[in-house]
Amino acid sequence: MNLNWILAGLLACGFVMGWRKGLFRIISGLAGMIISFYVAFLFNPSLAAIIDESIGFTHRVALFISKYLSVSELAASFPGRLLSQSSLQSADKILAAPGQTIAQFLLYILSFIILLILTKLCLSLVSGILTKCLDRTLIGPLNRLLGGLVGTFFVALIIGVSLLGLSGIFGNRPGSGGSSLINTINQSDLAGFLLSLF
């Protein structure tokens, strides 16, 4: 019986959260995520080139890596002679290329994250403005109601999958640690309804 109240409260929270956002904002949030990843993948090389030309990112990071990961200094710290001095200097030159590769990799990650965040912020701002405009029309209450229903659906989906997972993990084995939990789930009408959807 208590589980029914808990599940009903969670579904009500889902409805309220969906109501506050509205259907348009929920859909534009999902579409915005897809668009943000697309824009980040598309313009990542261009922004990386701009950042590298502006501040010399790869050169600075490669210098940092070669300064703090010097093979000759690392080898000199070991007891005994591992390699000759000329071999150590050539090893530093050989390992400068991976430092450049690591710097370029970090540059691409940085530019990707910048593009992802900026695109998501712009799309969130636009969807917020459009939702406010929709609220001033006759479509506003319908947008909010449908958003509440979608929010309830998402919460019901999460609860249903969780209950299904718990049932699969603990099963109906007598004496298992989850048998009282499974009995509680089986006695709940709302949990049974949510499980029947799957």
Q: How confident is the model at residue 140 (pLDDT cuts 50, 70, 90)?
A: confident
Question: What is the arithmetic mean of pLDDT over 16-24?
Answer: 91
Question: What is the pLDDT at residue 114?
Answer: 94
Most confident of 4-18, 54-68, 122-136, 165-179: 4-18
CA separation for the pair 198, 194 (Å, rounded): 7
pTM attached to this predicted model: 0.63
| Alpha carbon distances (Å) from 57 to 28, 39, 44, 60, 136 | 35, 22, 15, 5, 48
- Closest by alpha carbon to 76, among 91, 63, 62, 65? 91
* Phi (first) and psi of residue 133, to 5 degrees: -65, -40
Q: How confident is the model at residue 96 (pLDDT cuts 50, 70, 90)?
A: low
Question: What is the arithmetic mean of pLDDT over 57-69?
Answer: 80
Tokens of 98: 């991976």
pLDDT above 70 for 134:
yes
Helices (H), 22-138: 23-55, 57-68, 71-76, 85-94, 96-135
